[in-house]
Structure 1
Amino acid sequence: MSPMACVDLDFDQPPAGGIDPNIPVTTTIAELKSRHVLGKNEEITDDVVLGALVISDDATGNFFKQLVIEDATGGIEIRVDVTGLGLIYPVGRKVYIKAKGLWLGDYNGLTQLGAGVDASGLLRIPSTLVNQYVISATYGNTVVPAVKTIDALSLSDVSTLVKFENVQFISAHVGLKYAEATLLGNLNLEDCARKRIIIRSSSYASFANDLTPGGNGTVVGVLGIFGTDYQLTIRDLNDLALTGERCTVTIDESFDNIASNANVDAPEWSNIAVKGTRLWQGKIFMNNHYAQATAFGDSSPEMESWLITPAITTTVPKKITFETAKAFYVQDGLSVWISSNFNGTDVTGATWTQLFPTLANSSSADNTFISSGDVNLTGIPGPVRIGFRYVGSGPNGQTGTFRVDNVKVTNL
């Protein structure tokens, strides 16, 4: 089990306010959650009592009728039909949960406690009954978030207070509204290894229309999950301290500014047809933008199209990472190359050396992006350019589709 936030229920710290009824605790949050099977609902019929601290706050509206609590073993969200929870159950308030009569359920993988079940799912605890199940104790207790890295999160971290260090909004999401409507309130944070996590904001949050900062630093929030995607929810803007210098990135292209079904036209990139006339095109699926090449429907006997990065200096050791996906696999149509003498227009006149990163292939699931892994550019005289080469043929049935996204070049 991974370390949780520092939740000391013995409170070996300066005295907190309020009176503790000292109700005997019978179960941990981790033990209670272990009773739940995703997609099912389970009634709690025995005398279960939890002791935990409140970590959520609805004062800004980014949490709504949700009370998230955490003990030393994990956290859980309680669905309640109450607003203004921060006035009654502020962050750091110790509570006891008398869970007998409540139900376990989940929403797209997020385990929750509620009052019952109907056709819509897990019900909120009615406002008139909340005090029956949630018993207030001391307040003003300190909860220290557990420091985590994006690539080492686990299910045991869900519904706990976490802190990420050396993170920043991806460049395409800097200066956007926190609850950017076109992105459904989902923005991306990244660390200096370019691992990403969604930071989700409600359109009802008081800071929904504030603009995201461009610096690097720390972010604290309650970790959630939606399907297989971890999500972070901040309580207010004080959970962010992004004022430092950004991680060094020489290329950070997620194709978010390209138009769907239009030829890719990104600054300083080259999009060139060597055979035939078809180029790499921009595509959008589920709000994700990417570059795509396919010979499907192309009448040219042969198609060879190159999507080539801007020049990359290598005086400081660098690496490149990217993601690829395939669909309707027919042929190994995608390969990756490097050149130190490409002039920006003449592909065939340049010298190219093939690279062998991990690429989507015949065994990859359709429409699923996979990481290339780190491709080390050390020792290659620069400046260099990386070329994504697609080959196919519509008349000959070589019509597999390949996609490229999230191309990043960073210092080693």
Structure 2
Amino acid sequence: MAVVFISGTTTCVKHFDEPPEYTGPRVKANISITEIKRLHIPNNFEKITEDLIIEGVVIANDKTDNFYKSIVIQDSTAGITVRLDGFSLFNIYPIGRKIFIRLKGLWLGDYGGMIQLGAGVNRSDPQFPELIPIPQPLFDRVIIKGDLDQYVVPRKVKMDELNDSLQSMLITLTQVEFDHTDTGKTYADAVNKQTIAHTLRTCGIGTVYVRTSGFAKFATATTARGHGDITGIFSMFRTQKQLLIRDTNDVQMNGLRCTVTGPKQMYAEDFSGQIADSLISAPQLKNLSEAGGKFFLSKIVSGNPCAEISAFATKEQIVISWLILPAIDLDHTSNEILKFSTKDGFNNGAVLQVLVSTNYDGGNTPWKARWTVLPAVIAKGSVTGYPKEWVSSGDVSLHHLKGKVYIAFRYEGNDPPMQTAKLTTTFRIDNIVVAGN
């Protein structure tokens, strides 16, 4: 009987000491990231009221400080940025961790077109409402941590294959290189903590910007000089296509650059040779006033030289000013494009246009020539000051033109003393480039 008792007791103890088999978190996704993003209307905010759950793998976090108070997750259908009000998020949500997010009570919104998840909406500034990050005390209630080491394989794409469906997804751009003006440059301004966007190209004309925060741990590293692949999170800011890398290991450009078939720079002006606060002046470049006696000035803003124009304080009924580039011959190239960057400040309705003419004679009365407006993206909407980032014009095609052409920036505003609705917007222009094959 003693033997039987001991045997039975041992068996019983062994049964209760055995730990249960781990089966992962007891939660399952019931909607995909793609389906959730379809609920969002651009420039709006939507509160999620149903018991919906998404799952995804963390593909970016704040480990190198290039992603601020946010993580990016991706499932088999899409990716999305999740705003989190915390620091050192990488310790909780490392790259490769699967997570589940309870969406009920959260909000969808977008920043410059990039769809995000947050905890609410800050409407303290009615003109610029923004998503509120999920507070740290709610992390564990909203986000369920899953398995580690669930790494996502980047999707390989070429520059002409980029589209809105790839937002917040991990991609590898193949056969690319930094523009020759951006090679060997620091990724960002670590001294002044300023974000910098460097131009990335294929051997053709396409353009994507590698955007890096001035707080990134690799901000002082320099961009590659070769040709190859680059991996990162694809994003959009309005019409500008951007790539955010996690660290410099995402950049593998050790091949030979495009030298024969790539675009050739036909004209460039970054205003670095101008005297600050003086009239813009350069050989064969025209800086003219049609009305109001106002000219384009050279300015240095945060160490960056640029051209500036405004009707502010002129007291003029109308201000029309022209900045005309030297003649450009398009007979010996193909696939020509124009690109530049702009900023607007205290925008109240003045207009900056980019024009092209084939019959302007190069003289001091350009308004007598025939000009066509080019479909360039111009900064707008900054009504209370100046934005931190420049707005890219995009690649403005000139391939439909032949022979010698002139490109002009034309500003029109006013500042009448007795009128309340004045048009005095300030515009800044920089990094003008014309290139072709």
TM-score, normalised with respect to structure 1? 0.65
Aligned with 2:35: secondary structure? helix
Aligned with 2:60: secondary structure? coil
Report the Cα distance in structure 2 between the residues aligned to 1:233 and 1:387, rounded to whole angstroms. 33
Report the Cα distance in structure 2 between the residues aligned to 1:68 and 1:228, rounded to whole angstroms. 21
Deviation larger for 318-327 or 136-145: 318-327
- What per-residue deviation string (whole Å, max 9, x for no partner) do you get for residues 374-396 of structure 1? 2238874xxx674649799x9xx
Q: Which residue of 2 aligns with 1:158?
A: 167
Aligned with 1:126: secondary structure? helix
Whether 1:211 aligns to 2:222 is: yes
Whether 1:202 aligns to 2:219 is: no
Q: Which residue of 1 aligns with 2:297?
A: 281
Deviation at 1:236, TM superposition (A): 0.3
- What per-residue deviation string (whole Å, max 9, x for no partner) do you get for residues 222-272 of structure 1? 133456655432100122234442543232435466566432245x65346
Q: Which residue of 2 aligns with 1:42?
A: 47
Q: Which residue of 2 aligns with 1:321?
A: 338
Report the Cα distance in structure 1 between the residues aligned to 2:353 and 2:108, rounded to whole angstroms. 45
Contact 2:280 2:287 in 1 (8 A): no
- Cα gap change, 1:322/1:184 in structure 2, threshold over 3 Å: closer, same or farther? same
Q: Which residue of 2 aligns with 1:56?
A: 60
Q: Which residue of 2 aligns with 1:66?
A: 70
Report the Cα distance in structure 2 between the residues aligned to 1:385 and 1:100, rounded to whole angstroms. 55
TM-score, normalised with respect to structure 2? 0.62
Deviation at 1:147, TM superposition (A): 1.7
Q: Which amino acid aligns with 1:76?
A: I
Deviation at 1:206, TM superposition (A): 1.4
Q: Which amino acid aligns with 1:375?
A: L
Q: Which residue of 2 aligns with 1:178?
A: 187
Q: Which residue of 2 aligns with 1:104?
A: 107
Deviation at 1:136, TM superposition (A): 1.5
Q: Which residue of 2 aligns with 1:250?
A: 266
- The structure 1 residue matched to 2:155, chosen from 137, 145, 163, is 145
Report the Cα distance in structure 1 between the residues aligned to 2:350 and 2:100, rounded to whole angstroms. 57
Report the Cα distance in structure 1 between the residues aligned to 2:185 and 2:429, rounded to whole angstroms. 24
Greater C-alpha radius of gyration: 2
Q: Which residue of 2 aligns with 1:410?
A: 435
Deviation at 1:178, TM superposition (A): 2.0
Contact 1:317 1:377 in 2 (8 A): no
Deviation at 1:162, TM superposition (A): 2.7
Deviation at 1:150, TM superposition (A): 6.7
Gaps of 5+ in 1: 1-18
Report the Cα distance in structure 1 between the residues aligned to 2:339 and 2:144, rounded to whole angstroms. 47
- Cα gap change, 1:338/1:278 in structure 2, threshold over 3 Å: closer, same or farther? farther
Gaps of 5+ in 2: 1-21, 125-130, 383-390, 415-422
Q: Which amino acid aligns with 2:133?
A: L
- Aligned pairs for 1:383-394 within 5 A: 386=406, 388=408
Q: Which residue of 1 aligns with 2:24?
A: 21
- Cα gap change, 1:175/1:250 in structure 2, threshold over 3 Å: closer, same or farther? same
Sequence identity (%): 21
Aligned with 2:36: secondary structure? helix
Report the Cα distance in structure 2 between the residues aligned to 1:121 and 1:391, rounded to whole angstroms. 38
Deviation at 1:123, TM superposition (A): 2.4
- Aligned pairs for 1:337-356 within 5 A: 337=357, 347=363, 356=372
Deviation at 1:161, TM superposition (A): 1.5
- Cα gap change, 1:369/1:33 in structure 2, threshold over 3 Å: closer, same or farther? closer
Q: Which amino acid aligns with 2:109?
A: D
Contact 2:193 2:214 in 1 (8 A): no
Deviation at 1:370, TM superposition (A): 6.4
Report the Cα distance in structure 2 between the residues aligned to 1:52 and 1:79, rounded to whole angstroms. 15
